Amino acid sequence: MTTDRLRRVLVFIASPGDVADARSSVRHAVDRINRLVAKDNGFLLEPIGWEDIPPGKSRRAQEVINPYVDAASIFVGILHRRFGEPTGEAESGTEEEYNRIEWRWENENRKPEVLMYFKRIPDEQLIDPGEKLQKVLAFKQRIHTTCFYKEFEEEDVLLELVQDALHDWVLKNRNEFESPGAANEIVTQEPNDKEVLACIVGEGPFSAPAISSHLGQSTGATDASVRRLQELGLILVEPHGMLKPVNSTSGFLAIARHLNTDPHYKTLLASTYLQNMLSSSLRAHILSRFHCELSTETVGCLQSIARLSPSAMTYLLFGDTSIYDNLCESVRDVRKSTKGFANELMQNRVILCTLLEYGVDYTKGKLLTELGSKRLAGQLLSVNLKVAYEEAKAFEIEVGMPMVCARAGCDIKLGQMCYGRPEFAIRNGIIYMHLDLDGLAQEQLDQALSQELSDGDRAIALNSKGLIHLKHNRVADAIPLFAQAHQIAPNRNEPKKNLELAKARLSEQQEGRRGVAPSI
């Protein structure tokens, strides 16, 4: 059955910001049910939550979200420790959404399916719950006698609970289904809209006719997508018909959620739009979600990682914050020094989890090899392990795994392993050297020099080893390496310049004067 013939069913996900993993589990459950049973029975379930809805023009932010609650045939609510912020009509957005769906269930003939889930909280944390958790517990007590109420401990359990409930809903409604009247007024994305949005984000500003030509589709299809994207608050139409993505933080998050999946994540990561939005909003976003203040330098590194790795970007923008919320809550009344320690713990965890996601994308081959408009020479995953007895250090080891984006300089011979090529060892050594991992760099260069090399490659390796010695002020060790490199490759300028520099520095050392910077 084609998508056009399927009956579209809106699944609204109501939750505050501390249950991102749980929301992802609900989305996975919806995807599974669509594949396994919904489409075969004529349904297409569409999950949507507050993070998918850019802000519109309204007196209250919640008024932009409420129409989606009124249009939903299925409502899935999730709460853990946070209740959210007051909306003016309820203690939180989640409560206002629940109140609306509860009213519909009590008053409409075709009742919406209401599923409410609470993540269990350990008993010891309930002794002093704090203001935010107290609100969750009061709400939980209010609805605990209804059929809407269930508990879960882990996200995979939630996935199974939601999947079973959706499966039952599909079978119960397959012969007789009528969407809520409000659903006709709701604008949701069509498949072609992502293609148009990716074109605007990656190539824009574009006009609608240019997009039609670029995508090879009719002007009518493009115009319909542009209208929906405008109504959803994802794009703006400038004078002369040029289209561009919105630059609000909430609009950016919605765009990132839509495009940071196959096949559009490369377009998103490589876009100037993403670079600009991360630069302007990532630091404040991390502070708001993860409750930790990061240095400008660290945020800059995380921005670069997010532009190379779709999983790292997903974690930084949408990752679960429950552990950070719990830690922040637990230190709310303690000394300032303890709060500083908690901030350090949280920022270290943010960095670690981002790097772990980066590593996942490396194993899947999903890392970009360009940052901005420049191709990366290589990347490195490095681990430094230090272990101590109670009274002294036991051992320390540093391991690096280079991820080299290099092309072979000549044909690879039959039976020759690509990673064993001496040219790659030289490249690795240079990457290590630029990352100040000089011990690892020297190992790679020595490995290359122990094999058969062209005169040019041998000169590069010798010159690089000389630079390491020169960097550590071992001038006497550097001079013969530069001299040998110059002898076997007299047409290369770097060894000759560095030899002259090293000799001058040796003389200056003897006279107590400083030298100048070497040539790489």
Quick one: 151 and 284 in the same domain? no
pLDDT digits (tens, 9 = 90+) for 428-470: 788 778 777 788 889 889 988 988 888 999 999 999 999 999 9
Lowest mean pLDDT across 229-238, 325-334, 432-441 = 325-334
Roughly how many angstroms between the first and final C-alpha of the chain, as a whole number?
Answer: 62
Q: Are residues 45 and 143 in the same domain?
A: yes
Other residues' Cβ atoms within 10 Å of the Cβ of residue 91 = 16
Interatomic CA distance for residues 424 and 407, integer angstroms: 9
Select the more confidently predicted residue: 198 or 187: 198
Written as six digits, the tokens of 212 are 């039609």
- Which tokens is 468 given? 């390491």
Q: What is the mean pLDDT of residues 418-436?
A: 74
Confidence (pLDDT) at 337: 62
pLDDT classification of 415: cutoffs 50, 70, 90: very low
Residue 124 CB burial class (10 angstroms; 0-12, 13-18, ≥19): exposed
pLDDT attached to residue 233: 83
Can you give the CATH number for the domain in which 17 is found? 3.40.50.10140
**Percent of the chain residues past pLDDT 90, beyond the cut:** 41
Which band of pLDDT confidence, cut at 50, 70 and 90, is reported for residue 336?
Answer: low
For 31-65, how does the pLDDT look when each residue is reduced to its tens digit (9 = 90+)? 999 999 999 999 999 998 887 776 665 567 788 88
Q: How many CB atoms lie within 10 A of CB 297?
A: 8
Same domain, 421 and 467: yes
Q: Same domain for 22 and 159?
A: yes
**91 plus 12 within the same structural domain:** yes
**258 lies in some domain:** no
In a domain, 30, yes or no: yes
What pLDDT, on a 0 to 100 scale, did the predictor assign at position 405?
Answer: 44
Whether residue 419 has pLDDT greater than 80: no
Query: Mean pLDDT highest for which of 135-144, 306-315, 354-363?
Result: 306-315
Is position 248 within any domain? no
State the Cα torsion 91-95-99-102 to the nearest 10°. -150
Whether residues 77 and 175 fall in one domain: yes
172 and 297 share one domain: no
pTM of the model: 0.66
Same domain, yes or no: 276 and 175: no
- Single residue among 184, 216, 244 that ends a domain in this structure: 184
Same domain, 22 and 168: yes
Residues 357 and 452 in one domain: no
Q: How many domains does the chain have?
A: 3
- pLDDT above 50: residue 413: no
d(CA 320, CA 15): 12
Question: CA-CA distances (angstroms) from residue 332 to 82, 120, 129, 130?
Answer: 14, 22, 12, 9
Question: Could you tell me the residue range of the domain that residue 354 belongs to?
Answer: 272-373
CB atoms within 10 A of CB 331: 18
Residue 265 inside a domain? The answer is no
- Among candidate residues 135, 158, 184, the one where a domain is terminated: 184
The verdict on 354 and 413 lying in the same domain is: no
Residue 234 lies in a domain: no
End of a domain among 184, 215, 237?
Answer: 184
Residues 493 and 447 in one domain: yes
- Give a yes or no: residue 202 inside a domain: no
